Structure 1
Amino acid sequence: HQAYLGFRAHAHSRVFYRRREKNIERKCGNLAEWTHRFGGAYPFMLVLDADSTMAGETILRMVDAMERNPGIGLLQTTPTIIKGQTLFARVSQFSVRLYGRVAAAGLAWWAGSEASYWGHNAILRTEAFASSAHLPILEGREPFGGAILSHDTVEAALLRRAGWAVHVTAALDGSCEETPATMLDFIQRDHRWCQGNMQHLGLLKTRSMTVMNRIQMAMGFMAYFSSPLWLASLVAGMVIQLQYPTDWSSFAYLLHPEFSPFMLATLLSGVLLIGPKVMGGLLVLSRPRERRAFGGGRRIAKGMAMEILLSALIAPIMMVASTKAIIQIASGHDAGWKAQDRDADGVSWRDAFRAMRWQMATGLLFCVGLGFRPDLVTWFAPVVLPLLFSVPLVVFTSRRGLGDAAAKAGFLAVPDEAGVSVSTIPSSTQSSVLRA
């Protein structure tokens, strides 16, 4: 409250602070209550999270785009991550800053006027939102029933069903947010998102929903369901291999690989995983101003190498975490909506051990299988080793000291270290927010 009073004293416009008497239905309830009581006085509303920021020029450009395009119901920016200090947060911050624009541009092209809404750092046409985006209360008990957790995707679908365009733009800088500081906080938030995306399965049969919105909801679910599929494929592969004797010729295959369907699938997987990262890196390297903002080509290359390495180590941990979340949600466990600490500095060994026991147990089970087939160690090591060492990975990546040391050494450094967005998008691109 004191922060609000201080801001109001120096603001050059009227500022209001609201506190609902009945804080129901979380964030979507907050938006619905404001729209119902005050929305008629405002043609647009800018939605931000508590950890979001947006430059004034960015807001003005968004308002201008909405005024010039009366058929748009929602315009979503692609926020960059700021204030990442722990090693884990810096991985997300660097990857979004370097690669995010490529992914966002692809999404904007692919989805067109049926793009996604991420719940914040977006501007909405109040009339459109009030008339068409009222969220239903799902039948049944939580976790599948009750209030919709991942409300943003559903609100975008409702806007599209009513004929309003929903766009995402990669042509604006100055839109920022923060990210969970530790892997445990990230997993906690991901658990809630997983439940929200599982709720969407019941909405796929909603009448008049566009094909694109159905695809987006299905893709949101698959983003989590792919984890148990990955784990199941690893287990199935191990079980199949245990039917055969040890064959050390697999090492010779690594030294002298031959082209095969397996090799082709591996190469395609690598292109899909690493390709967007390479494209993002090349884009920045090709632009002198952006390259200097990141500290030069050498720092970019070092940051990319560390980001890819740490992402590869984190992936098996998230595989088990998402699998566990799906099992818990399917068995009736509600993820809830817990507040997160963006300023956390360090996770205790005890908390990390308690949180990672499923990861370690999974790694040990694979080790049992490898005891019978030691020739497969090379193939399973990229998955098994991060699981076995998940506790120290959680602990060390949660420390600010290591994150700061990495940045000083030229790893994972970004232009806006101090939380001040440095525009790396040419002004000629920013002048046209929407692409036809």
Structure 2
Amino acid sequence: MSAVSSSRGQSGAPSPAGIARRRLVFAMLAGLSFAGLAVLMFAAMRRGGVLPVEGVMLALFLVTLPWLVIGFWNAAIGLLLMRFSRDPAVAVNPMLADDVRDTPLETSTAILVCLRNEEIDGVALSVETMLEGLLREGALAHFHLYLLSDSSWPEIIADEERLARSLQARWGGDVGVTYRRRENNHAFKSGNISDFCQRWGQGHDFALVLDADSFMEAPAILRLVRLMQRHERVGILQSLVVGLPTMSAFARIFQFGMRLGMRSYTLGSAWWQGDCGPYWGHNALLRLKPFTEHCHLPELGGKGPLSGPILSHDQVEAVMMRRAGYEVRVLPVEGGSFEQNPPDLVEFIRRDLRWCHGNMQYLKLLAMKGLRPVSRMQLVLAILMFVGSPAWVAFMVLSAGLFLFYDDYLGQFDPVLGATLFASVMTMVFAPKFATVADILVTRERRQAFGGALRIVAGVAGEVVISMLLAPVMAIAHTVFLAKLALGRGGTWSAQARQLHTVPYASAVRRLWPQTLFGAAGLAWFADVSALAVLPALPVVLGPLLAIPFTRITASPFWGRVALASGLWRIPEETEPASDLLRLGLPALPSAEPQALYGEAAYAEAPAAE
């Protein structure tokens, strides 16, 4: 299964020939699946003769396939590794075979906390807890904390300055604490980190990049540092980030689904990506010298929303680091690395559209010289992640339109092949989740960590239904946003609202009226043209139709408490929370002790993000 050569480099990785064989196997599997689904769709259409518009539909269908096929095979390979490999993480990242727990620290690491108009109490608790953990481990002298602010709200700036003074007073004798605020947040987070590199980067070996909602336990941080210290050709080391326990019903459902799909997907992707792994922009360790020298992002020429600073910087920095000859690795191991997920659908869409905007800029980077083939493909896939949405929406609209011109259009489509195609697509869609669920259910310890078999099955059933309803909601959001980009209108990169809150009807309507209109029109159309067609189309129209009430309900603190009390969508950190998580005062952990340190009211008084 591993296809690993006995010849290994400094990082303990498979030889280039071994990685090449893995990639060839993966490419063959993905290519054959892609071709098989394309042939199946064409054969199903042929029954009544392929119309010109159906040729367009076939092309649109093909655009949606790459992420589907790759996700399926990542999950399948990940499941095989989980069930048949002695240590799945070592099988895809052999540097994890090193026992580095007692390795002395000989390097200096900068902890970069990147801020932009963030509620400061949560940041303060996370930073304090991380510093206390490093102090307990006897490692604090090897770190330096940097609070890198791009904030513009006066109340937030005042809280940041107060936090910096407090940290310097308490920790100044044990660790360096530096606070810096840029007056101009040019290039956003990448510009923030670039400014650090130019000012202070030469004084440190590594940098641990954290977002305002990031939290890492001390052992997880030290593992990254010790591994990178030992393996000198590793330029970026990305931890596996999971969601923090939350009271938000929406976030609970989302991160439960992500948790189920993450392990198999990440193992499978790491198996063939190898040294061209992902960088997600936070909870990751950078080797500063090559990062500063080789990962400086260019300004994109031209006019319009795709020009100027590169917004989705992480993947570009990863491919540039690999181009420079350094490895980019992921540690596919859960535990100790966390982030806070958006508390409601509106915030979730806003975050997704920021990524969409940034990923579309990759169109101008595909011709970048010197990239590895896998790196170039990663940029293409990042684009297709969002381009697939308008392709899917257009496919559905054209399908509906055919009923207008052909009374018996369903009769022109082969029912057996159509059902086979539908079953194949649905299997591939949910394969990452079901692969991890299968592994959890047969492992007693993991089964108990997620709340037991009954809660797992009930949670999976609910999450699958909700994810099917939300898929068209997100596809419509992407489509509308991409249409705006095509017309020269970009989005805004403002601060996220991370705290649990009720979403006003006005805000939900303003954000989700296109989805509601699509759902109402679709339901009326299919009900009028063919009652039979309503059944398979029900998730497609029902999700958008109910987007506004769904947003209101899943953002409600009341329903969040109900979801928590039911035990549904539980994650292992709720079953046995680590002491450091309890220190954060998370409301989802009953034994936690909430603390307010540095200006609880400031964020509530700050302007609401739109």
Per the alignment, residue 274 of structure 1 pairs with 430
Tell me which moved more, 228-237 or 363-372.
Answer: 363-372
- Cα shift readout 1:181-217 (whole Å, capped 9, x = no counterpart): 1111111111111111110011001111111111111
Bigger mean CA offset, 399-408 vs 182-191: 399-408
Q: CA deviation at 1:57?
A: 0.4
Q: Given the alignment, which residue of 395, 415, 421 partners 1:265?
A: 421
Equivalent residues, number: 417
Distance change (3 Å), C-alpha of 1:318 and 1:335: same
CA spacing shift, 1:246–1:369, aligned 2, 3 Å: farther
8 Å contact kept, 2:505–2:552: yes
Match of 2:166 in 1: 6
**Which of 435, 444, 449 is the matching residue for 1:293?**
449
Offset of residue 363 of structure 1: 1.9
Q: Does residue 101 of the first structure (1) align with residue 263 of the second (2)?
A: yes
Moved more, 4-13 or 290-299: 4-13
2:356 maps to what in 1?
Answer: 194
Q: Return closer, same or farther for 1:321/1:282 CA change in 2, 3 Å cut-off.
A: same
Deviation at 1:248, TM superposition (A): 9.5
Alpha-carbon shift at residue 331 of structure 1 (Å)? 0.9
C-alpha contact (below 8 Å) 1:73/1:165 kept by paired residues: yes
| C-alpha distance in 2 between matches for 1:321 and 1:421 | 37
Aligned residue in 2 for 1:316: 472
Q: Could you tell me how far 1:301 is from its partner in structure 2? A: 1.1
Tell me which of 49, 55, 67 is aligned to 2:217.
Answer: 55
What are the residue-to-residue correspondences of 1:259-408 with 2, within 5 Å? 260-370=416-526, 371-408=528-565
Question: How far, CA to CA, are the matches of 1:264 and 1:372 in structure 2?
Answer: 24
Distance 2:162 2:447 in 1: 41
Shift of 1:313: 1.3
| Partner secondary structure for residue 147 of structure 1 | coil
Distance 1:262 1:248, change over 3 A: closer
Give 1:218 deviation, angstroms.
1.1
How far 1:53 moved relative to its partner?
A: 0.5
TM-score by length of 2: 0.65
Is the CA contact 1:85–1:400 (under 8 Å) kept in the aligned structure 2? yes
Indicate whether 1:203 and 2:359 are aligned. Answer: no
- Counterpart CA distance in 1 for 2:260 and 2:519 is 32
Output one character per residue of 1:407-428: Cα deviation in whole Å (capped at 9) or x when no partner.
21121122224995599xxxxx
Three-state SS of the structure 2 residue aligned to 1:15 is strand
Distance 1:374 1:381, change over 3 A: same
Closer, same or farther: CA 374–285 of 1 in aligned 2, 3 Å: closer
* 2:229 equivalent to 1:67: yes
Residue equivalent to 1:110: 272
Q: Provide the C-alpha distance between the structure 1 equivalents of 2:357 and 2:500, rounded to a whole number of angstroms.
A: 25
- Could you tell me how far 1:157 is from its partner in structure 2? 1.0
CA contact (8 A) 2:451 2:575 kept: no
Aligned to 2:113: none
CA gap 1:144/1:242 in 2 versus in 1, 3 angstroms: same
Alignment check: 8 A CA contact 1:302 1:410 kept = no
The partner residue of 1:228 within 371, 385, 390 is 390
C-alpha distance 170-389 of structure 1, shift in aligned 2 (>3 A): same
Residue type of the partner of 2:549? P
Q: Secondary structure at the match of 1:260?
A: helix
The alpha-carbon distance between structure 1 residues 330 and 248, as it changes in their structure 2 partners (threshold 3 A), is: closer
- Residues 220-229 or 407-416, more deviating: 407-416
Superposed CA deviations along residues 297-336 of structure 1, whole A, max 9, x for unmatched, are: 1111111111111111111111110100110111111212
1:79: how far off? Answer: 0.4
Work out the CA distance in 2 between the residues paired with 1:78 and 1:141. 37
Provide the C-alpha distance between the structure 2 equivalents of 1:53 and 1:367, rounded to a whole number of angstroms: 44
Tell which deviates more after alignment, 93-102 or 122-131. 93-102
Asked if the contact 1:363–1:387 (Cα under 8 Å) also holds between the matched residues in 2, the reply is: yes
CA deviation after TM superposition for structure 1 residue 24, in Å: 2.2
Quote the residue 1:150 is aligned against: 312
Structure with bigger gyration radius: 2
Determine whether 1:166 maps to 2:314. Answer: no
Shift in CA distance, 233/8, structure 1 to aligned 2, threshold 3 Å: same
The 5 A counterparts of 1:24-103 are 24-103=186-265
Distance, in Å, in 1 between the alignment partners of 2:411 and 2:359 is: 44
Contact 2:235 2:321 in 1 (8 A): yes
Distance in 2 (CA, whole Å) between partners of 1:338 and 1:158 is 27
Per-residue Cα deviation, 1:110-162 (whole angstroms, up to 9, x for no partner):
21100111110100000110110000000022411001000111111111111
Q: Is the 8 A contact 1:247 1:375 kept in 2?
A: no
Change in CA separation of 1:164 and 1:353 when aligned onto 2, cut-off 3 Å: same
Are the equivalent residues in 1 in contact too, given 2:238–2:280 (CA < 8 A)?
yes
Report percent identity of matched pairs. Answer: 35
Contact 1:77 1:175 in 2 (8 A): yes
* Distance (Å, rounded) in 1 between the aligned partners of 2:407 and 2:415: 24
Is the CA contact (8 Å cut-off) linking 1:347 and 1:398 kept in structure 2?
Answer: yes
1:204-240 deviations in whole A, cap 9, x for unaligned? 0111111111111111111111111111111111112
Indicate conservation of the 8 Å contact 2:280/2:314, yes or no: yes
In structure 1, how many angstroms separate the alpha carbons of the residues matched to 2:334 and 2:169?
30
Conserved? CA contact 2:243–2:339, under 8 Å: yes
Supply the distance in 2 between the matched residues of 1:226 and 1:403 (Cα, whole angstroms). 32
Q: Could you say what secondary structure the match of 1:242 adopts?
A: helix
Matched, 1:123 2:279: no
1:245 touches 1:373 (CA, 8 Å); kept in 2? no
Task: Compute the displacement of 1:41 (Å).
Answer: 1.1
Deviation at 1:5?
Answer: 3.5
CA RMSD of aligned residues (A): 2.3
TM-aligned CA deviation for residue 97 of structure 1: 2.6
User: Deviations along 1:7-65, whole A, 9 cap, x unmatched?
Assistant: 44443422222223443221111111111111111110000000001111011111111
The TM-score normalised by the length of structure 1 is 0.90
CA distance, structure 2, for counterparts of residue 422 and residue 416 of structure 1: 10
